[in-house]
C-alpha cells in the first residue's frame, strides 16, 4: 500500500470538507440570510468531520500503519 499517498489524500479531503462547510455557511448566509436548520447542521458537520479527517489521516496512514507492517 502507498501510505504516503493515502495520508496526503486524506489531509486534502479533510481540508476540502472544512473549506466547503465554512464557505457554504458564509455564502449561504450572505445570499439567503438565515439558513434552515438542516443546512446549518450539514455545514457544521462538514467542518467537524473535516477537522478529524485532516488530523487523523496523516497520523493513521503516515505513522501507525507503516509501523504495523
Helix (H, G, I), strand (E, B) or coil at 69: coil
**Span 47-62, pLDDT tens digits:** 999 999 999 999 999 9
**Whole-number pLDDT of residue 69:** 83
Residue 46: alpha-carbon gap to chain centroid: 6
Predicted confidence (pLDDT) at residue 1 exceeds the cutoff of 90 = no
Q: How many angstroms separate the CA atoms of 60 and 58, rounded? A: 6
3-state secondary structure of 49: helix
Residue 30 neighbours by CB distance under 10 Å: 8
pLDDT in tens, 3-62: 999 999 999 999 999 999 999 999 999 999 899 999 999 999 999 999 999 999 999 999
20 burial type by CB count under 10 A (0-12 exposed, 13-18 middle, 19+ buried): middle
Amino acid at each position: 500500500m502507498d501510505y504516503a499517498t493515502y495520508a496526503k489524500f486524506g489531509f486534502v479531503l479533510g481540508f476540502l470538507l472544512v473549506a466547503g462547510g465554512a464557505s457554504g455557511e458564509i455564502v449561504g448566509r450572505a445570499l439567503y440570510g438565515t439558513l434552515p436548520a438542516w443546512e446549518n447542521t450539514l455545514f457544521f458537520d462538514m467542518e467537524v468531520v473535516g477537522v478529524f479527517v485532516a488530523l487523523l489521516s496523516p497520523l493513521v496512514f503516515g505513522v501507525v500503519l507503516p509501523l504495523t507492517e
